[in-house]
Amino acid sequence: MPPIGRRGFVAGVTLATLGPGGRAGAETGGTRTEGTGPRGGSAGGAGTRGTAPGAAGSASAGRDAAAFRGMWIATVGNRDFPSRSGLAAAGQRAELLSLLDLAVRRRMTAVVLQIRPSADALWPSPYEPWAACLTGVQGRDPGWDPLGTAVTEAHARGLELHAWCNPYRVASHADPGRLAPGHPVRRHPEWALTYDGRLLYNPGLPEVRRHVQDAMLDAVRRYDIDALHWDDYFYPYPVAGQVLDDDAAFRRYGGGFPDRAAWRRHNTDLLVSETAARIKEIKPQVAFGISPFGVWRDAADDPAGSDTHGGLATYDHLYADTRRWVRERWIDYVVPQLYWNIGFPAVDYARLVPWWAEAVRGTGVRLYLGEALYKVGDPAQPAAWQDPRELARHVALARTYPTVGGHCYFAAREVAKDPLGALTAAVAEG
Provide the mean pLDDT of the chain.
Answer: 88
How far apart are the C-alpha atoms of 223 and 217, rounded to whole Å?
10
pLDDT over 90 (residue 136)? yes
Strand, coil or helix: 253: helix
Q: What CA–CA distances, in Å, run from 371 to 1, 149, 154, 218, 251?
A: 23, 27, 22, 29, 40
How far apart are the C-alpha atoms of 321 and 269, rounded to whole Å?
7
Task: Give the pLDDT score at 66.
Answer: 63
Q: Phi-psi region for residue 107, left (φ > 0), alpha (ψ -120 to 50) or beta?
A: left
Nearest to 146 by CA among 217, 84, 94, 182: 94
* Choice between 1 and 305, residue whose per-residue pLDDT is larger: 305
Q: What CA–CA distances, in Å, run from 172 to 23, 76, 77, 382, 423?
A: 12, 10, 9, 29, 31
Nearest to 24 by CA among 9, 1, 5, 2: 5
Task: Give the pLDDT score at 138.
Answer: 98
How far apart are the C-alpha atoms of 13 and 371, rounded to whole Å?
21
Report the share of the chain in percent with pLDDT over 90: 84
Concatenated DSSP letters for 319-384?
---HHHHHHTT--SEE--B--S-TT-SSS-HHHHHHHHHHHHTTT--EEEEEE-GGGTT-TTS-GG
Sign of the dihedral defined by the CA atoms of residues 82, 179, 267, 282, in that order: negative
How far apart are the C-alpha atoms of 171 and 154, rounded to whole Å?
29
Amino acid at 281: E
Residue 57's pLDDT band, with cuts at 50, 70 and 90, is very low
Task: Give the pLDDT score at 413.
Answer: 98
Task: Give the pLDDT score at 27.
Answer: 57
Determine contact, residues 326/272, Cβ cutoff 8 Å: no
State pLDDT tens for residues 339-355.
Answer: 999 999 999 999 999 99
* Choice between 205 and 11, residue whose per-residue pLDDT is larger: 205
State pLDDT tens for residues 29-42.
Answer: 433 233 333 333 33
pLDDT over 70 (residue 21)? no
* Residue 243 CB burial class (10 angstroms; 0-12, 13-18, ≥19): exposed
Residue 57 neighbours by CB under 8 Å, 6+ apart: 49, 50, 51, 65, 158
What count of other Cβ atoms lies within 10 Å of the Cβ of residue 16? Answer: 12
β-strands 68-73, 192-195 pairing: unpaired
Residue 281 neighbours by CB under 8 Å, 6+ apart: none
State pLDDT tens for residues 262-275.
Answer: 999 999 999 999 99
pLDDT over 90 (residue 4)? no
β-strands 192-195, 198-201 pairing: antiparallel
State pLDDT tens for residues 167-208.
Answer: 999 999 999 999 999 999 999 999 999 999 999 999 999 999
State pLDDT tens for residues 70-123.
Answer: 999 999 999 999 999 999 999 999 999 999 999 999 999 999 999 999 999 999
